[in-house]
Amino acid sequence: MHDTTTTHRTLGVVFWASLSVSALFVVWGVAAPEHQTATMNASLNWITARFGWAYLLLPVLLLALLVGLACSRYGRIRLGSDEDRPEFAMHTWIAMILCAVMGIGLVSYGVAEPISHFATPPHGLAESGTPQAAVLALQYAFYDWGLHAWAIFAVFGLALGYSIHRKKRPGLISALFRPLLGRHADGPAGKAIDIFTVFATLFGTTTSLGLGALQIDHGLNLLLGTPSGTTAQVVIVVVITVLFSLSAASGIKRGIRYTSEVNLSVASLLFLFVLFLGPTAFLISLFLESIGQYSSEFLLMSLRGPAFGDTEWMQGWTYFMMAWWVSWGAFVGVFLARISRGRTIRQFVLVVLGLPSLAFFAWFSVFGGAAIELDMKHGTDIAGDTAAELNSAFFATLAEFPLPTVTAALVVLLAALFFISGADANTYVLGMLTTHGSTRPRTPILLLWGAMTGALAIILLLSGGLDALQQTAIVSSAPFLLVIVGMVVCFLRDLRSEGTAEEAVEANIAPQHLAQVTPEKTE
């Protein structure tokens, strides 16, 4: 069995192959950026035209599976031994889930997505700028950032947590496939799964880093008048890469934990500021009505595709969001598994699905709802500003509130902290995946993956900005859909064996005799 508590001194095929593939992509972007962009765009169109439906169907099926597990007798099983108890307090656990997983998107899209949908309602389901469009805008923001996203994350986290803490396997995606592949999970087939996991994880999280750089660049330009553009974004990526690499090297209990808690405090301060100084009654009413419509049209909305057009809109929003979450799945899963030892399956599912979704619903309702109310009732044009520059949305909204300079500075700080906390968690996970599942990757490995992440973010920003980031997220995630299906099959096999052992104990049959009893029943 692999030792998952100590650092391995030898680096294997997964590390060198993953590093080589990532380096080749960087070289490709430097040597032939136009060719890289054209290839990624063609791949994007091919994937979404033929397999876009999979991005709609899979999250719904995963959500149904998780709810079923939580409600079943398997919900009592702990991610660890029966005697294990949680390592982190509930509030710390939740803060780490919220901030180290998806933070930067809350700044980039917290206003931008609702106000964009308000101006251009999804699938032409409402008239632009109407109350119906306002409710629809939040409904689709909830769809992109709520239960569907967290169902993907929770399945990875649950399967990995069970495998690592209860089965004592290494923290690798390939280890999950032992019930299906047997010893081949530790051979070439398993190595291939792990290499692709690293590749998909790296590009999925690089998308977030690129978005963070764009947001910080715009904020600094507004606050300090600094030059805005790719040069400034490259400098930002370099500086932040140094910071998050050092944070990751300090360990999960120090850098990642404390940064996450500071993030939550700053985000809560901004949230309460806008909620109570803005149109409070309107925001609460809009939140409740949008939740109602989201709930009542859940299945219809979840499975609505581009059969009658809207392919371009789907690529920019739904397909991109779902692909982003798929490419984040392994990274988030490893991180959730690492911080969730001792939690029961039922507790894990309820918290990981429920609390982040509600928190994000509230966030989009307050900030997106404030922007919508300003455009509807006060003659602003935040929607127009957002269409011209996505990263202006948050700042344009706060400019209509008191202390705009202070709040803009807080947004830049929040974006930087979200950038650091998400990236250092990503660096830790990449180090873990490429050192045989070690929970204590060596500092040089962490620094190397930090540098690679920063380099990829720079290449994508130089080659096409936001469009390049979106294309890469979708293309790199597509084959990973098959990995998710295989992982679910293996996890369910593991759980069935757990149920068999439990039944044997209840029947006063020692588990070690199961191998003898089972053949007698089948003969």
Q: Which residue shows structure tokens 């250092």?
A: 424
> Could you give the domains of the chain?
13-473 (1.20.1740)
Confidence at residue 490, expressed as pLDDT on a 0 to 100 scale: 94
Confidence at residue 248, expressed as pLDDT on a 0 to 100 scale: 62
CA–CA separation, 506 vs 519, rounded Å?
19
State both tokens at 138. Answer: 């939040």
Mean pLDDT, contiguous 10-residue spans, the chain (523 residues): 44 83 81 82 83 92 96 93 87 74 76 96 93 97 94 94 91 89 88 85 76 85 86 87 71 61 84 95 97 96 84 86 84 84 94 92 96 95 92 92 93 82 76 80 83 82 69 76 92 83 48 45 37
Q: What amino acid occupies position 291?
A: I
Confidence at residue 142, expressed as pLDDT on a 0 to 100 scale: 96
Confidence at residue 207, expressed as pLDDT on a 0 to 100 scale: 75
Q: What are φ and ψ of residue 131, in 5° steps?
A: -55, -35
Q: Which residue shows structure tokens 């380096």?
A: 23
Confidence at residue 3, expressed as pLDDT on a 0 to 100 scale: 43
CA–CA separation, 188 vs 14, rounded Å?
10
CA–CA separation, 194 vs 198, rounded Å?
6
Q: Count Cβ atoms below 10 Å from residue 64 Cβ, excluding itself.
A: 11
> For the range 444-450, what are the long-range contacts, defined as Cβ-Cβ under 8 Å and sequence gap of 24 or more?
445/11, 445/15, 446/245, 446/248, 446/249, 447/245, 447/249, 448/19, 449/202, 450/241, 450/244, 450/245, 450/248, 450/423, 450/424
Confidence at residue 251, expressed as pLDDT on a 0 to 100 scale: 57
CA–CA separation, 474 vs 510, rounded Å?
49
State both tokens at 207. Answer: 């998308």
